[in-house]
Structure 1
Amino acid sequence: MDRKSWIIVTLCVILAGVNLYYVQENQKLAQAEAARKKQEEAAKKAVAAPAAATPAAAPATGAAPAAPAPVETPEETHSLKVGTVTYELTSKGGGIARAALAGTDRVLLNKNGLEPVGALRREAAGMDSIAYKLTAKSDKSATFEGTTSEGIVVTKTYTLTEGAEGDEHLVDLKITLKNTGTAQHRSEEYYLYAGAATALKHDDGRYDGFFWNNAGDAAYELSKYFGKGFFSEAPTEYRHSYNALRYGGVMTRFYTHILSRMAEKDAPAKFWSSRRKLAQPIDAANIGKADIEDFAYDAAMSLPVVDLAPGASVTEHYQIYLGPKEYDRLSRIGHQRSYAMFYGYFKIVSIALSKVMRWMHDISGSWGLAVILLTIFVRLCLWPIHAKSTMTMKRMGLLGPLMKELQEKYKDNPQQQQLETMKLYKDYGVNPLGGCLPLFLQFPIFIGLYSVLEVAAELRGQSFWWVQDLAAADTQGHFLGISINPLPLIMGLTMVAQMKLTPQPATVDKTQQRIFMLMPLFFLWISYDFAAALALYWSTQNIFSIFQTRIMKLYMPEPKLEKVAHKPAAAAATAQNPFFNTGAPAKDKKKGPKPPRLGG
């Protein structure tokens, strides 16, 4: 065969191998899904078996009467209220059925949960089938107790937290397992349910996901994790074992559930998460639309290995956080929970700006003013960089005529044209990167601030001027089916004005100028439905930049086109190394007659 045939055969073999690999992987996923469904069916049959095994009522003859059917334990509920949070506890699963957040939040967490937060499962995807009783309750705590079919007495005590690391969104959970049987009991399959998280509206579904912290290394997966790949089916769940699992949970754009193990020493544990399609869409406007799908994200975290001798017991301490994703709050309650903010690559910048924004709010008393003051603060810090960039671009603008002369003179010799251009920059002391480099220095700050404002739960429900919610678009009405958002429109207009006042480099041609003029329209299109806080930040930045350009024009002298005097290079000493000889004849150090040469 020729070379082309060998290449085709090799590619076919490689593709066949790739196809075989993914077929095997899909078979494994299908087998795992079948096994999971079989376990769920077995669990349902086990629950239904006692009721089915109850004998029918005895006939009116002299036969012995049948045993009465077991009476289902009535549900017992209790509420714990602290600050703006009300925890609704139930004996059905022995945990927190709902957490109602009042104030500006107005959110019901675990609304779509399969069972209460804190439910004890014998399989991650199973259900807590223990019949609990509410054995003690007060204004600050509640205790549930139940017994498994294996004779393990489970006691759960939920207590409101207090003190420096306490918070209205944080609840203590102490769970005790006691072996009342006569045999050793050992299991690695005890899971605490962390609840279910659901976006507040359909468009926020991309922020939903789950996360975990293994020995201080926090990581997460968003909703796209459950999407279908190019060569694989969509995963149905996430399962993994960790050597030091400190916490795990689920999150949405603004709220999160964090289940943390509180112990002096880390221990191995497992984490599980999955998602379920909701029966009804989140937004009422989407009801009846078949192409709209909304999901709930569940998670569970296993207990360390339980190994109990007859009569022995073990107690584990956990804390449950059900509340907003606020860096200041999560940082204050400690135990690395602030790692669950997941700001991205510029996390340090985001954290610093988040603290500054909260400080600005403490000064002004308004989150809208805090965003404006934060923007001005950032622009003031960047003023020297912006001024240097502007002066460099103005000097490059003065080089325009000389640049055009070089382009005409060396239009047939691009290499020489490039050399002459660099020489021109050097003669006049202009750094071609001086106008662009400051923009790259501002990039981390912009991304960091964007990450803060995009998921800042502090801004949710906060009004400012005509804006009703800084965390949502400032829609004031509709025209021909298009929403009218004033802040993005202001942002677009101020961006056009800013570009008109910004000097353009000499190398920018008419085509590039047209592209630059289309940039405001492009940014307006992609950011039209952004949160009002982001549009407010961007508009404030543009207005401040216009003001800054005006101040610089009034009070800073215009640059002049002058050549830079370069210092002459010092005369190099005569090289002693023959490899660096300049080629000039060596001079004798001493003048005079040379000695005669011997040998004729």
Structure 2
Amino acid sequence: MQQNNGLDKSQIISFAVLCLVLFGFMFYFQKDQQTEEALNAEKQKTEQTQNSVKSTQAANINPNVTPNSIQTATLANNELKLEFSSLGGQVSKVELLKYKAYDQKTDKADLPLYLINKNNSSYGFQFKDKTGKVINTKDLIFSPVVNGNAVTLTANYNGAAIQFIYTLNTAGELKDQYTLDFKVRSQGLANISSDNKADFIWDYSVRNVEKGRSQEQSHSEFSYAFNNYNDYDYDGRTTMEEEKETLNWIGVKQQFFSSVIESKSGFTQSKGNQENIEEGEYLKKLNFEGFVPMTGSELNQDFTWYFMPLDLPLLKSYDKNFDEILPLGWSFIGSMNRYFFMPMYNIIADWGIAAGWVIFLMTIIVKLILSPIMYKQHKLSAMMKVIRPEIDEVNAKFKDADPMKKQQATMEVYRKAGVNQMAGCLPALVQIPIFYALFRFFPNFIDLRGQGFWFAKDLTAYDDLIKLPFKIPFLGDHLSVFAIACTIVILIYTVMTSGNMQQPQQEGMPNMKVIMYIFPITFLFFLNTSASGLSWYYFVSNAINILIILVIKYVILDEKKIHAQIQANKAQPKKEGKFQKRMREMMEKAQEQQKAQEQQRNRKK
């Protein structure tokens, strides 16, 4: 019996009803969504949180230090609010004033966004005195003095003075608003130390400020530049070792923000390690150390701190290779995001429409660009359906024959009909880089951060409208409606396009139809914790694919004309292509080798 790859009128109506139900479902829950969330996991133990961050140990040098004896100083501009601690002379608090952090209790981004707070960052310069005792500036007590937009912190140790001078830019371009000049000066240090370099040690625990914990954790890593800012690298593994390079800057990258320190002389013999924190207020613990030179055993170095959002135009404006921090993908993938998807989003967003509808229009534009390729693919599918009876006839005729002969006969049918099977692979190959580019685009494009659409409150994170009272492996404790909707349309599309697929003719061969039906289900596990913008894009994309198939089948293509064209192709002498000739020669050679082997076996018998 001939298989039917199309949809009858009842199936078309069913698909239309399904789309209406999905859209109705989305609008209904947009209005009736509960804003209160009972998250038992939010009951975090304060002691565990504090233990996950390295605390500053000053008892060896200052045994009388108490929390009440620590002084603070504050500087602020339009973008940053900074606090400095007299303990270690460090930046003890960094708040980005134009951004908010996600609050699990309210399921809203309504908390102040701190990159540094509650001792999650600790840094200092370590060296030895002439007796061999290790001195670290983060253990010293500094006296702060604020003068306009600068704060000077001074510490004294055995007659030597160490000054940390921080200057926050309060005017100038936007890029200057995220920078903090940091100068280190010493006097008399040569009297107590003979070291020619100091070890800069930085311990940093990444704060959880986004909704998707696992996604944000996977995006947290070391990033650094070297070779006079020309080369960039990152490290999300357990250890980082760059002992042969001089790092121009080292940073801790989060999903949408980064804390970076630049050394004018560079960091040498750099190394670091990192480990995930499974629960609580923090995601990942990172430790870095690298050496900076001391001149005549005096510590006189210039640094710059950057506490910045990962906004591509802002990062490029520094001209320090900061734009590489944004993980948009390598080579062609990254270029596709930088020069196609991002500009396209910005142009459409300037029309003043919601982010979700911007993505909707982006999807249509991409489909229009790919429409010639998609048309060829679906036309090939229609032609395959027409010649299905002849393929079935070949399978029946060579059922018990040599598989090689059956394959040759099948290819001959395709050749005479003018059907190039390889043409069907092109659309799939084109879709792979686009998919990976969008996989990088949606969770890293800061313009989408906090942009809601229907029941998804943030298109860079998953939507968790359906909350589960338990956790499912690989799914979590929620179901994303966007992910479910996307899975459904992918399954429908798979049913519509798998009708021409041949069943396995030999035992042990996998049934490709079954594999294709399993794929959409596995896709659900992937999308459920991914950015909802990605799920929405692929829901629209596959819904358009379904409509394209219906239009091609019922409006554009005429099966009778296709059949007549195939018969005309069969009647004409068909020129054999290079690929087909090569395949035929390979099969003939394989047949000859097989016959020779059979003859040898017969002689031995």
Say whether 1:507 aligns with 2:502.
Answer: yes
Match of 1:370 among 358, 373, 385: 358
Aligned: 1:438 with 2:437: no
2:197 equivalent among 185, 188, 210? 188
Q: Which amino acid aligns with 1:433?
A: M
Contact 1:132 1:145 in 2 (8 A): yes
- CA change 1:425–1:299 in 2 (3 A) is same
Q: 1:427 to 1:500 in 2, by over 3 A?
A: same
Give the CA deviation at 1:449.
Answer: 0.8
1:347 to 334, 348, 351: 334
Name the counterpart of 1:203: 214
- With over 3 angstroms needed to count, the CA separation of the structure-2 counterparts of 1:126 and 1:300, relative to structure 1, is farther
2:366 and 2:430 map into 1 onto residues whose CA distance is 12
Of 134, 149, 155, which aligns to 2:164?
155
Query: What is the TM-score when the length of structure 1 is the normalising length?
Result: 0.70
* Paired residues of 1:462 and 1:469 also in contact (CA < 8 A): yes
Equivalent residue, structure 2, for 1:496: 491
Partner of 1:326: 311
Q: CA deviation at 1:213?
A: 2.0
TM superposition shift of 1:164: 4.5
- 1:230 equivalent in structure 2: none
Q: What CA distance in whole angstroms lies between the structure 1 residues aligned with 2:493 and 2:73?
A: 59
Q: Which moved more, 1:122-131 or 1:238-247?
A: 122-131
Check whether the contact 2:144–2:152 (CA below 8 A) recurs between aligned residues: yes
Distance 1:392 1:568 in 2: 19
Letter in 1 for 2:92: A
Letter in 1 for 2:234: Y
Which of 381, 384, 389 matches 1:401?
A: 389
Task: Specify the structure having the higher radius of gyration (Cα).
Answer: 1
The 8 Å contact of residues 399 and 506 in structure 1, kept in 2 or not, is answered as no
- Please say if residues 327 and 440 of structure 2, whose CA atoms lie closer than 8 Å, have aligned partners that are also in contact: no
With over 3 angstroms needed to count, the CA separation of the structure-2 counterparts of 1:409 and 1:112, relative to structure 1, is farther
Q: Deviations over 1:144-168 (max 9, x none)?
A: 2334557353332232275447254
Q: Displacement of 1:300 after TM fit?
A: 3.6
Going from structure 1 to structure 2, the CA distance change for 1:478 and 1:383 (only over 3 Å counts) comes to: same
Are residues 1:382 and 2:366 paired? no
Q: Secondary structure at the match of 2:164?
A: strand
Deviates more, 1:269-278 or 1:453-462: 269-278
Distance 1:378 1:130 in 2: 59
- Kindly indicate whether the alpha-carbon contact (under 8 Å) linking 1:178 and 1:308 is maintained by their aligned counterparts in 2: no
- CA distance in 2: counterparts of 1:268 and 1:479, whole angstroms: 48
Pair 115,563 (structure 1): closer, same or farther in 2 beyond 3 Å: same
Deviation at 1:207, TM superposition (A): 3.2
CA drift at 1:474: 1.6
SS at match of 2:214: helix
Matched pairs, number: 479
Deviation at 1:142, TM superposition (A): 2.5
1:356 aligns with 2:377: no
Amino acid in structure 1 at the alignment position of 2:549: T
2:258 corresponds to which letter in structure 1?
T
Separation in structure 2 between the aligned mates of residue 370 and residue 121 of structure 1, nearest angstrom: 52
Kept after mapping to 1: 8 A contact 2:124/2:136: no
Please state how far the C-alpha of 1:108 moved relative to its aligned partner: 1.5
Partner of residue 130, structure 1: 140
Shift, 1:432, TM fit:
0.8
Q: CA deviation at 1:347?
A: 2.4
Q: 1:87 touches 1:99 (CA, 8 Å); kept in 2? A: yes
Q: Secondary structure at the match of 1:483?
A: strand
- Between the aligned partners of 2:288 and 2:146, the Cα distance in structure 1 is 26
Closer/same/farther in 2, CA of residues 186 and 351 from structure 1, 3 Å limit: same
Q: Percent of aligned pairs with the same residue?
A: 17
Note the alpha carbon deviations across 1:59-93, whole angstroms, 9 max, x for none.
Answer: xxxxxxxxxx9999943323233335322222222
Q: How far 1:337 moved relative to its partner? A: 0.7
Report matched runs for 1:110-509 at 5 Å. Answer: 110-111=116-117, 113-116=119-122, 119-122=124-127, 128-138=138-148, 140-149=149-158, 151=160, 153-160=162-169, 162-164=171-173, 166-179=175-188, 181=190, 185-191=194-200, 193=202, 195-200=204-209, 202-204=213-215, 205-215=217-227, 216-222=230-236, 225-226=237-238, 238-261=240-263, 263=264, 267=266, 269-275=268-274, 281-282=279-280, 296-300=284-288, 302=290, 304-308=292-296, 314-316=300-302, 318-345=303-330, 346-352=333-339, 353-411=341-399, 412-478=401-467, 481=470, 483-502=478-497, 504-507=499-502
CA drift at 1:542: 1.6
- Judged with a 3 Å threshold, the aligned counterparts in structure 2 of structure 1 residues 556 and 275 are, in CA distance, closer, same or farther, namely same
* Aligned residue number for residue 77 of structure 1: 72
Deviation at 1:220, TM superposition (A): 2.2
Q: Secondary structure at the match of 1:86?
A: strand
Secondary structure at the aligned position of 1:435 is classed as: helix
Aligned amino acid, residue 132 of structure 1: F
Q: In the alignment, is the contact (CA less than 8 A) between 1:150 and 1:181 conserved in 2?
A: no
Question: For the Cα contact (< 8 Å) 1:269–1:304, is it kept in 2?
Answer: yes
2: CA distance between counterparts of 1:214 and 1:520?
A: 43
Alpha-carbon deviations, 1:264-299, whole Å to 9, x = none?
xx7562334334786x9326xxxxxxxxxx654234
In the TM superposition, what is the alpha-carbon distance from 1:402 to its structure 2 partner? 1.4
- Amino acid in structure 1 at the alignment position of 2:181: D
Alignment check: 8 A CA contact 2:125 2:200 kept: yes
Q: Distance in 2 between matches of 1:540 and 1:377?
A: 12
Task: Check whether the contact 1:94–1:156 (CA below 8 A) recurs between aligned residues.
Answer: no
Q: Distance in 2 between matches of 1:366 and 1:95?
A: 42
Answer yes or no: is the 8 Å Cα contact 1:267–1:304 preserved in 2. yes
| Aligned-partner SS, 2:378 | helix
Read off the aligned partner of 1:522 and give its amino acid letter.
T
Q: CA distance change for structure 1 residues 365 and 322 in 2, over 3 Å: closer, same or farther?
A: farther
Please tell me whether the aligned partners of residues 79 and 86 of structure 1 are also in contact (alpha carbons under 8 angstroms).
yes
What is the CA distance between 1:504 and its match in structure 2?
4.1
What letter corresponds to residue 191 of structure 1 in structure 2?
F
Residue 95 to residue 354, structure 1, CA distance change in 2 (3 Å):
farther
Structure 2 length as normaliser, TM-score? Answer: 0.69
User: How far apart in 2 are the matches of 1:249 and 1:436?
Assistant: 42
- Give the direction of change, closer, same or farther, for the CA distance of 1:276–1:494 in structure 2 (3 Å limit): closer
**Which structure ranks higher in relative contact order (CA pairs < 8 Å, sequence separation ≥ 6)?**
2
Query: 1:91 pairs with 82, 86, 109, which one?
Result: 86
- Give the gaps of 5 or more residues in structure 2: 1-53, 102-112, 129-133, 471-476, 506-510, 577-605
Report the RMSD for the aligned CA atoms in angstroms. Answer: 3.7
Which is strand-richer, 1 or 2?
2
CA contact (8 A) 1:273 1:299 kept: yes
Q: Are 1:109 and 2:115 an aligned pair?
A: yes
Displacement after TM superposition at 1:407 (Å): 1.6
* Kept after mapping to 2: 8 A contact 1:155/1:175: yes
Q: Secondary structure at the match of 2:502?
A: coil
> Unaligned 5+ residue runs, structure 1?
1-39, 52-68, 227-236, 284-293, 570-600
434 and 70 in structure 1: CA distance in 2 versus 1, 3 angstrom threshold? closer
Aligned to 1:259, the other structure's residue is in SS state strand
